Structure 1
Amino acid sequence: MSGLFVPMTKANGLGNMPDLLEQWAGSRSVARAYGRAGLPMEVIQFPETWIPVDAIRSLFEISARAAGDRCFGLHVGKDMTHKTFGLWMKYSVQAATLRDGLIRANQSSRFQQTGGKVVFVPGAQVSFWRYVAPPMQTSSQVQHCDHLIWPTIRFIQSYLGPLWLPEWVDVSYPRDADARLLEAQVPFPVRFGTPYLSMAIRNRDLSPRTPRPFGDGQRITFDAVRASEAAGPSNETLGTVFNTITLRLLEGQTDIDGAACQLGIGVQKLQRDLRREGVDYRDLLNRAKRVRAQELLSDTDMTVIDIALSLGYSDHGNFSRAFRKMTGVAPSGFRARKDQMQ
């Protein structure tokens, strides 16, 4: 990887973590955990938002300590399924066989996370489906790793049935004094200290054809998954900055100084990196504002003036002129058109 790059993932990977933390430790603990992880609470309402992988790891560790439970991440994951992760997983679960489904997931996981990957590794009698996480700056990834165990198993169960369990599971952290608490919670062997989260799958389970279609029968193509992510730049540097701007817009923050600080670099370096890619900060900010405005007009009942203020515009008129310039239609017209299509 070259240039400015921060591994990021979609906030839908948090599952019901905020609700579970509130149940166990109270609503104030949720706000404190998000604040300490450097994340706005608004990502709970907008789970398709991209957030730094290190932030989600930190959030899980902070939340587990607040909840006082070594297996907090595992409990979060137990209430999740592969469907939690959105369109790329729905596409992956529609293949004819588990082997083909794993290959689909490998190809499309970049629409869920950057910097990490899922890999299918064939073996003589047992094959492996592995999640290789991005390099981390946080001190621990125990809770984040654990919360992925059950959604990964449920993806495979969608092909092999609800009784299927892995031969064993590898986790991406060393065994410690509390490892027995995890082992007591799961009905399969756990191996510690590998570089990845991995499911061991018997080879005979890879090829039988799935006897039933997924969900409501609506077929999803790879092109549809790719189109769902068309709003953001595909370039790594531009994607990192664009997603950072979008995340900060959740709190109405638009300044370049704050964006550079969140990226861990100086303003001048950020400007140089963007110039090297042929854009400036204002270009990406306007693009992020357009996408965010369209989401709010389509998916919420917020008034146009409230949307304008949330995006840093001083009044309704400035926002309407900017939106019309970017899209060719006024905000009210865009919302009316969306309502007619639904």
Structure 2
Amino acid sequence: MTARANTVAVGYLHALLDYARARGLALDALRAALPFDPSDRDARVPEALGAALFDRAAALLEDDALGLHVGEQVRPGHYGALGFVAMNCERLGEALDALRRYQALVIDLGGVGLKRDEQTCTLSWNPGTDGPYRQLAEFNLAGLVTFARWMAGAWAKPLRIDVMYAAPADTREHTRILGCPLRFAQACYRVVLPIDALDAPLIQPDPAMRELMQRLADQQLRALPRGDDWLTRLRAQIARRLRQPPVELDAVAAALALSSRSLQRRLQAEGLRFSALVEQVRRELAERHLADASLDLADIALLLGYSEQSAFQRAFKRWTGQTPAQWRAAHTEPRN
């Protein structure tokens, strides 16, 4: 299978540049792995180039845990609009949903899954690259854990983290920074949190700022060059079929010119299930429709494929802990 041409935002790589500069490493020393303009923070570079930059910095600083150390120092600004959406959410679960939705703004991860059960919630992804790009991957993980911990305190302590690369010789910094057991050489990346963490309050929720940053993030997401992004096309096919359920894997696979088995394999490689992805798309569309004050709840229920408004009400409360009317009141301005 051909690896996807994943990219990284230059603004995200500034976390490494800031860390290296603070330790006396000049950009000139990184120039061989820096064939881009660092001042253009909105530019995108291939993921392999970002990984090479981390690897060169690790060698020059003689720090085999460099990715972890950079992630430990990450700031909201390094995440751009994604960071400001997340930090202005009311609860950690909402911030994780924002991460899943807008992750591509900082680095392509091949689609982030968010699975819940009675005891845990699990973020999972498989970049699908030739990697494993260990230093860059550890920066992503340590940055995620550090940022979540800053927003929600001890609630954000993971129960377990799975990684796709082999165990390094020394894992003491992994234990100190990530603060949980790790499993190496796994089929995908996973961060497992206790289910109660989703309800953890964040330190500085600001609904107005969140709404503003979310509009900016949506605009940036639409502007991203996607190329042949099968996951984006899959989500679009699901969205088109919601009005006339059921949304069936066989029909969606055929629309993508894939066999059902091929689509299932691709989803498995991403750590995703088709039914869970349908639920994610339905929830995102629900929130988008609720933000449109011209649509009443009965209309939205039909657009999402529900035969009765009460079924939509129950599903939405399961997703968010709020009724659609409560969510709309909290996230939209009243009509004049």
| Offset at residue 181 of structure 1 (A) | 4.7
The match for 2:278 is none
Distance 1:108 1:55 in 2: 21
Q: 1:204 aligns with which of 179, 192, 196?
A: 196
Partner of 1:308: none
After superposition, residues 58-77 of structure 1 pair within 5 angstroms as 58-77=52-71
For 2:92, give the aligned amino acid: L
Verify the 8 A CA contact 2:90 2:206 in the aligned structure 1.
Answer: no
1:143 to partner: Cα distance: 0.8
Matches within 5 A, 1:312-323: none
Structure-2 change in CA distance of 1:34 and 1:168 (3 Å): farther
Change over 3 Å in CA distance of 1:25–1:191 after alignment to 2: farther
Report the number of matched residues. 229
Q: CA deviation at 1:216?
A: 8.7
CA distance in 2, matches of 1:206, 1:84: 23
Equivalent residue number for residue 17 of structure 1: 16
The alignment partner of 1:174 has SS state of coil
- The one of 224, 228, 233 aligned to 2:220: 228
Q: Structure 1 CA distance, aligned partners of 2:223 and 2:182? A: 40
Find the aligned partners of 1:87 and 1:175 in 2 and give their Cα distance.
33
Aligned-residue identity in percent: 16
What is the distance in 1 between the residues matched to 2:105 and 2:31? 24
Q: Classify 1:129/1:179 alpha carbon distance in 2 versus 1 (closer, same or farther; 3 Å).
A: same
Structure 2: distance between partners of 1:122 and 1:25 = 44
- Residue 7, structure 1, aligned to residue 6, structure 2: yes
2:186 to 166, 170, 194: 194
- Whether 1:135 and 2:134 are equivalent positions in the alignment is no
Whole-angstrom CA distance in 2 between matches of 1:104 and 1:185: 23
1:191 positional shift: 2.3
Distance in 1, Cα, partners of 2:45 & 2:226 = 16
CA spacing shift, 1:94–1:195, aligned 2, 3 Å: farther
Do the aligned partners of 1:9 and 1:113 also contact (CA within 8 Å) in 2?
Answer: yes
The alpha carbon displacement at 1:54 in A equals 0.9
| Separation in 2, partners of 1:104, 1:95 | 9
When residues 184 and 152 of structure 1 are mapped into structure 2, their CA distance, relative to the original with a 3 A threshold, is closer
Structure 2 unmatched ranges of 5 or more: 230-336
- 3-state SS of the aligned residue for 2:98? helix
Q: Partner of 2:96 in structure 1?
A: 102
Query: Normalised by the size of structure 2, how large is the TM-score?
Result: 0.58
> How far apart, in 1, do the equivalents of 2:208 and 2:84 lie?
11
SS in 1 for 2:205: coil
Question: Counterpart of 2:28 in structure 1: which amino acid?
Answer: A
Q: Secondary structure at the match of 1:135?
A: coil
